[in-house]
């Protein structure tokens, strides 16, 4: 029995809800068609507009804050990887290794602390702020439904009031067939019954109107107080949120600046202690240098010393050599310790002849001759302005007519065999990749 009663109550409630939805739908149709007036409250409608705007702005702020937090986390990971790279390349015997590792650890902790504080002081506050909107939004929608119920009850009561005069006319003059067919003595009873029935309907309509009005006004009064208060609270919330973010970011960058300065000091100390030492530096392969005409020469077939000449770089200045005849003679290109990529134009009088320089030259060398190189590998020309080289070919290096046309890693020259045969630069000269050759003079 209890189960049946429960089912009956549930079924009755469902039927009541269905009837309410039907009544509301009919009332809205009548209002849209202009056949029923609608209760309007412009002040409340403005509050609802402000509420929707506030919800939209808060939702966007929450989304952007989450994006910012994701970016902070990504920067943390990138910074961590960079510090791990520094720890790997920092050799064990270099001074300051322990300090560098400690700085990396503090860097990692600082990022973690910054991210967590942003979550605690900004994101969680943001979530709490937005947490109140769904309930209020639901109550606004419910108020709208109760307003439709109130208007429907009001219209129903008003229609019964309008029909009251017709009912009074029926009492004075019976018009229904039942009344006409009834004997004279019972017509008074029928009239009394109609009056009682009409009064009952009016009383029920009035009770429904009072009840609907009470429910609506209770919800309306609460929202009329809450919505303006919520709207005004947005200023303080925005101020507190952005102040927290700005303060946290300021402190983070201050602490990070200290760590970066400490790391810089460690690296400066490393440079000072190793700056005077001699290091062995190898020239970079050709594929790392910009290509002539957007073309890059293929690397030499092997990694022989000829392909990657070893360069000795000494930070200690060399003492000047003493001159045998009371004057210092410049070193010849073959004596220089500088790499071949450094072009040294010089002229000196040796045994009565002038060597090098663009202002003149020996009769058996092209104008502007600077030095000789020998091909260590075959090179197949890929353009008309390039030299075709075979291993062992000797090339006389000359300057570019227009220095701006010279690309890094390329030299201008003429093969010695072609020069001895033709003595014409226009026909014989061309460019070639420097890393395929080795300087011999």
Domains of the chain: 18-274 (1.20.1270.60), 284-314+339-441 (2.30.30.40)
pLDDT tens, residue order, the chain (441 aa)? 444 455 555 766 676 666 666 666 766 666 666 655 667 788 999 999 999 999 999 999 999 999 999 999 999 999 999 999 999 999 998 999 999 999 999 999 999 999 999 999 999 999 999 999 999 999 999 988 888 888 888 887 777 777 665 655 555 555 455 555 555 555 555 556 566 666 777 788 888 888 888 888 888 999 989 999 999 999 999 999 999 999 999 999 999 999 999 999 999 999 988 765 544 444 444 444 444 554 555 566 655 444 444 444 444 444 444 443 333 434 444 434 444 333 333 333 333 333 444 334 455 889 999 999 999 999 998 888 899 999 999 999 999 988 888 888 899 999 999 989 888 888 889 999 999 999 997
DSSP 437: E
Give SS3 for 256: helix
- What integer pLDDT is reported at residue 146 of this predicted model? 86
Asked whether the beta carbons of 312 and 337 are under 8 A apart, the reply is yes
DSSP at 292 = B
Q: Which residues pair with 396 in a beta bridge?
A: 372, 414
The C-alpha atoms of residue 310 and residue 267 are separated, in whole angstroms, by: 27
What's the pLDDT score for residue 284? 47
Read off the tokens for 398: 């000359």
Residue whose pair of structure tokens reads 């429960």 in the numeric block: 6
The pLDDT assigned to 353 comes to: 39
- Paired residues of 311 in beta bridges: 281
- C-alpha atoms less than 13 angstroms from C-alpha of 147 in its C-beta half-sphere: 18
- Tracing tokens 């290096």 back to the chain, one arrives at 397
Tally of CB atoms within 10 A around 266: 20
């Amino acid at each position: 029995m209890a189960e049946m009663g429960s089912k009956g109550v549930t079924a009755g409630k469902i039927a009541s809800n269905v009837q309410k939805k039907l009544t509301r739908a009919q009332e809205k149709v009548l209002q849209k068609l202009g056949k029923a007036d609608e209760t309007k409250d412009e002040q409340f409608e403005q509050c609802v507009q402000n509420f929707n705007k506030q919800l939209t702005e808060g939702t966007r702020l929450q989304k952007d804050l989450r994006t910012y937090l994701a970016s902070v986390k990504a920067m943390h990971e990138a910074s961590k990887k960079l510090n791990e790279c520094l720890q790997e390349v920092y050799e064990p015997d270099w001074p300051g290794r322990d300090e560098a590792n400690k700085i990396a650890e503090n860097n990692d902790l600082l990022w973690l602390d910054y991210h967590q504080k942003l979550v605690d002081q900004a994101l969680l506050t943001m979530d709490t702020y937005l947490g109140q909107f769904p309930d209020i939004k639901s109550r606004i929608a419910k108020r709208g439904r109760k307003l439709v119920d109130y208007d429907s009850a009001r219209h129903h009561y008003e229609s019964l009031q309008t029909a009251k005069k017709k009912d009074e006319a029926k009492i004075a003059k019976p018009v229904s067939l039942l009344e006409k067919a009834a004997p004279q003595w019972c017509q008074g009873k029928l009239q009394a019954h109609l009056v009682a029935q009409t009064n009952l309907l009016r009383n029920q309509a009035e009770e429904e109107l009072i009840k609907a009005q009470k429910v609506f006004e209770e919800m309306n009064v609460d929202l009329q107080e809450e919505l303006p208060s919520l709207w005004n609270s947005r200023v303080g919330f925005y101020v507190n949120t952005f102040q927290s973010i700005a303060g946290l970011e300021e402190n983070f960058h201050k602490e990070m600046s200290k760590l970066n300065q400490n790391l810089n000091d460690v690296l400066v100390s490393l440079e000072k202690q190793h700056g005077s030492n001699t290091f062995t530096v190898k020239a970079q392969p050709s594929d790392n240098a910009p290509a002539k005409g957007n073309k890059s020469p293929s690397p030499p077939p092997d990694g022989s010393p000829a392909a990657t000449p070893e360069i000795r770089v000494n930070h200690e200045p060399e003492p000047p050599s003493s001159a045998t005849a009371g004057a210092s003679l410049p070193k010849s290109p073959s004596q220089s310790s500088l790499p071949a990529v450094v072009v040294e134009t010089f002229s000196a009088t040796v045994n009565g002849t002038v060597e090098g320089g663009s202002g003149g030259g020996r009769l058996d060398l092209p104008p502007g001759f600077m030095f000789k190189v020998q091909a260590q590998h075959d090179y197949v020309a890929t353009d008309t302005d390039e030299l075709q080289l075979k291993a062992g070919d000797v090339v006389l290096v000359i300057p570019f007519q227009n220095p701006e046309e010279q690309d890094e890693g390329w030299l201008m020259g003429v093969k010695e065999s072609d020069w001895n045969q033709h003595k014409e630069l226009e026909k014989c000269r061309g460019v070639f990749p420097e890393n395929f050759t080795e300087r011999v003079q």
